[in-house]
Amino acid sequence: MRSSPEVTFFDDFNAPYLNRDIWNVEITGNIYNQEQQAYVDSSETVYLSQNERDCEGALILQARCQPGFLTKQGGRFDFISGRVNTRGKVTFRYGRVSARLKMPAIEGLWPAFWAIGVSGAWPACGEIDIMEAVGEPDWMSMAAHGSSYSGEAALVNKKYFRPPDNIAEWHVYSVECLPESLTFFVDDALAYRITRPMVEFFGPWAFDSEKFLILNLALGGTYPFKTNGFREPYYGLPSHAVQEIQNNKALYAIDWVQIAQL
């Protein structure tokens, strides 16, 4: 029998404020994948919940409408949102990384929980997408990116939920990172496994270095667009999603995040 893992990092967000000794709140610089939001460091987009229904004691990343918002780089956006990471504060090489998450089932919203290597340029640094969704209620995806297997060529798989279960309910999303494999779980059930030979068929294994965690709520962009096909009113973001953002429904809730040694 495998022994219980040793927890090396845990944050359950049961505090008055986000712990900045652990988390960095990102501010938009370059925009990738034609996403439609700017990330800002604001209590409007990144905050700890005290009274949202079923989300008390959780980190909330919320998208909001803010037409004509200008970034320091001169980019103009009609939406703002939240993104946090642990770069320079919490890293891991191997182990089981997990988070309990609840996402909006709103078409075109793109929440994610992922890890990326601390050194080197992308994709050679390695990227592990533990959870991504684009607002369709019945599935989420997981993937790995590295040299020669990135973007549309990534090793990727989808987990489908059996109705009435869906992405808008609480689920635990995990990956076990080992020297020879990446194994993904949803609620402790095996969802996907990537082995070193699978990766090395395409390019070098990129997952032996230190990695940091990222949680973000993107809007529109390439991944939602290639699923829903909407170009208007925003790329990958339909009008009914905009209405939900305006109605303050675009909330991505993170109950806890954990790293454990195996």
The residue with tokens 């009609």 is: 78
Domain-located, residue 232: yes
The answer to whether position 1 is within a domain reads no
**Domain harbouring 86, CATH code:** 2.60.120.200
For residue 169, pLDDT beyond 60: yes
pLDDT score of 206 = 97
- Domain membership flag for residue 192: yes
Entry pTM = 0.95
Residue 79's pLDDT band (cuts 50, 70, 90): very high
Enumerate residues 6+ apart whose C-beta is below 8 A from 20.
Answer: none
Please name which of 205, 177, 175, 169 lies closest in space to residue 191, comparing C-alpha atoms. 175
The pLDDT value recorded for residue 151 is 87
Tokens of 186: 């949803």
**pLDDT tens-digit profile of 203-245?**
999 999 999 999 999 999 999 999 999 999 999 999 999 999 9
Range of the domain at 54: 6-261
Residue 123 lies in a domain: yes
Number of compact structural domains in the chain: 1
- Is residue 105 assigned to a domain? yes
Chain mean pLDDT for the chain: 95
Output phi, psi for 240, to 5 deg: -70, -25
pLDDT for 54 equals 63
Cα separation values, 186 from 29, 60, 122, Å: 32, 21, 27
List the beta bridge partners of residue 260. Answer: 7, 96
pLDDT in tens, 107-139: 999 999 999 999 999 999 999 999 999 999 999
How many whole angstroms separate alpha carbon 99 and alpha carbon 131?
9
The answer to the question of residue 213 being in a domain is yes
At residue 154, the 3 state secondary structure works out as coil
